[in-house]
Amino acid sequence: MSGQSSLSYPEMLELFEKNDKWAAEVRKRDPGFFPRHYPGQRPEILWIGCSDARVPETTIMGCQPGDIFVHRNIANLYSPQDDSLNAVMMIALQNFKVKHIVVTGHTNCVGCQTALNVSLLPTTKAATPLQKYIEPLATLSRTLFVDKRPPSLDLLVEENVLQQVKNLAECDVIKNDWKRRGTDGVRVHGWVYHLEDGTIRDLNCSIGPPGHVPGQRLVNNYF
């Protein structure tokens, strides 16, 4: 397939220039950084977050490349039929034996706002990919109506995270990890990132394998 170079586009050229500058700064600050990361990765956390460009997990957690394994989608949703996320979890749990999975929603979420808007309309058959994808979240929104009044966006964001933590804890990939690793199996957490001040809030909904001890520091055994 033939085509033009990305560098023909000014905005793409700017990104390449930024990459060159970043790579040079990293090599100067830590000459061993790239050679050290090239052979492989050993993340301890799988982050399931929203695709929103304002929520870059590595940046807001003060981490470095290689620290966090990542899956992002619209409104940080999970369903058992999501082969993409199921595959990510299998790699994270079987190859890297991550200790924690974190579902992270965020304030002013466009995906949640879209679902909230849909929940205000009469129920119709979803037709577009976005409508089909957001349908479970719109259904969740409808369950939160009080006296025909819709929930606030902030409430829907929180309840969505709680629902996804529950969905994950009930999925086969997580259950199989708990069977395989016992009390050392993965813990699942729910957080909300606040765009307005850059802080993360724990929703106190963490779930682990039967018999696990909350607060116990886990040690990865890769071999």
Share of the chain above pLDDT 90, in %: 91
At 103 the pLDDT is: 98
Question: How does residue 213 score in pLDDT terms, banded at 50, 70 and 90?
Answer: confident
Query: pLDDT digit string (tens) for 14-26?
Result: 999 999 999 999 9
Q: How confident is the model at residue 156 (pLDDT cuts 50, 70, 90)?
A: very high
Mean pLDDT score of the chain? 94
* Residue 112 marked as a ligand binder: no
* Residue 184 in tokens: 């050392």
Amino acid identity at 151: P
102 alpha-carbon distance from chain centroid: 7
Q: Which amino acid is at 187?
A: R
Instruction: Report pLDDT digits (tens) over 30-56.
Output: 999 999 999 999 999 999 999 999 999
Using pLDDT thresholds of 50, 70 and 90, give the confidence band for residue 218.
low
Does 50 appear as a known binding residue? yes
How long, in residues, is the chain? 223
Q: Per-residue pLDDT tens for 159-171?
A: 999 999 999 999 9
Confidence of residue 222 (pLDDT cuts 50, 70, 90): very low
CA geometry: angle 141, 136, 143, nearest 5 deg: 30
Using the structure block, give the residue that is written with the tokens 């220039």.
Answer: 17
Backbone angles phi, psi at 109, to 5 degrees: -80, 125
Which residues participate in catalysis according to the annotation? Answer: 50, 52, 54, 106, 109
For residue 215, the model assigns a pLDDT of 72
Q: Is 109 annotated as a binding residue?
A: yes
Least confident of 88-102, 136-150, 208-222: 208-222
Which SS3 state, helix, strand or coil, does residue 115 take?
Answer: helix
Report which of 73, 80, 65 is spatially closest to residue 30, judged by C-alpha positions: 65
Residues 6 or more apart whose CB falls under 8 angstroms from that of 175 comprise none
β-pairing, 45-50 vs 187-194, is unpaired
Average pLDDT over residues 104-118: 97
Instruction: Give bridge partners of residue 73 from the DSSP assignment.
Output: 50
How many other C-beta atoms lie within 10 A of the C-beta of residue 198?
9
- How does residue 216 score in pLDDT terms, banded at 50, 70 and 90? low
Is the dihedral angle over the CA atoms 160, 170, 84, 63 positive or is it negative?
positive
As a whole number, mean pLDDT of residues 146-160 equals: 97
CA distances from 41 to 80, 84, 167 (A): 26, 20, 27
What pLDDT does 102 receive?
98
205 known ligand binder = no
